[in-house]
Amino acid sequence: MTVQTLTIVTDDGVRLAVEVYGPESAPVLLLSNSLGTTMAMWDPQLADLSARYRVVRHDGRGQGQSTCPPGAASMDRLGRDALTVLDALGAARAHFCGLSMGGMVGQWLATHAPERLLRLVLANTSACMAPAAAWQARLEGVLSHGMGPLAQASLERWFTPAFLAAEPEQAEWIRQMLLANDPQGYAACCAAIRDMDQRRTAALNTVPTLVIAGQADPATSVADAQFLVDAAGDARLVTLPAAHLSNVECPQQFTQAVIDHLG
């Protein structure tokens, strides 16, 4: 599989690590990952999606190989980062698939730049992740104690007990991804989620949308997903027998749902 590796610089000087796969003539599909992971979280989908689309994936600011200035990020900033990636690649319009924080970026794009989207996939995400105090406590904990204490607790929320027992290597792969985070970058994105509330603008989404929910997801519930479906003008719901990282826990079902939606 041929990959093009790029560094794209945003208007505030952040260097975004980007990879591009698939035929140049195919429709662009931008993938956006969850808080605390790198673009590698999309590995289970990469071969199938890049056979059909020009797949673009990137590390969000402060995650993986992408840089981040000190202080808080915002959902507006993360959304504009996604547009910067599309602009740099000359992609006037693209499909978008985001999971968790990536899905929050997708919601922002649907209301602030719908003309840039073809079809949208919002996976394991929510329009609001209250209470804000919990996110403040999380970012303060990471800044004080590093990623170690958070990593194991995240695994227990991101995957079902059955998956953790059956796929310890996959779980360890994600744990190492979490441990490798720069606490400052992780905290910056925590602040973006802390300050986000997209419930009032959810009804502005008229992009054809697939919402994917994990039936056992304690972080972003099926009810959170149903809210996004009900608010949008053209959306449908698929639930998978998974917790939060449904693309890792149910890779084939997740990938097929995305392909079916994008067409």
Domain limits at 22?
3-262
Mean pLDDT of 138-144: 95
pLDDT at 197 over 90: yes
pLDDT at 1 over 80: no
Among 1-5, 71-75, 133-137, 214-218, which stretch is predicted with the lowest mean pLDDT? 1-5
What pLDDT shows up at residue 16? Answer: 98
Mean pLDDT of 141-148: 95
Given pLDDT bands bounded at 50, 70 and 90, which one contains residue 152?
confident
What pLDDT shows up at residue 98? Answer: 98
The pair of structure tokens assigned to 201 is 């603008």
How many other C-beta atoms can be found within 10 angstroms of the C-beta atom of residue 5?
Answer: 9
Mean pLDDT of 67-96: 97
What pLDDT shows up at residue 7? Answer: 98
- The DSSP secondary-structure symbol of 197 reads B
Average confidence score pLDDT of the chain: 97
Strand order in the sheet with 209-214: 3-9, 15-21, 54-58, 28-32, 94-99, 117-123, 209-214, 235-240
Our count of domains for the chain comes to 1
pLDDT at 77 over 80: yes
Q: Residue 223: in which H helix or E strand, if any?
A: helix 222-231
pLDDT at 183 over 90: yes
- As to burial, measured by CB atoms within 10 angstroms (0-12 exposed, 13-18 middle, 19+ buried), residue 111 is middle
Mean pLDDT of 101-122: 98
Residue 89's CATH number: 3.40.50.1820
Q: Summarize pLDDT for 204-248 with one digit per residue, the tens.
A: 999 999 999 999 999 999 999 999 999 999 999 999 999 999 999
**pTM (predicted TM-score):** 0.97
pLDDT at 80 over 80: yes
Q: Residue 2: in which H helix or E strand, if any?
A: none
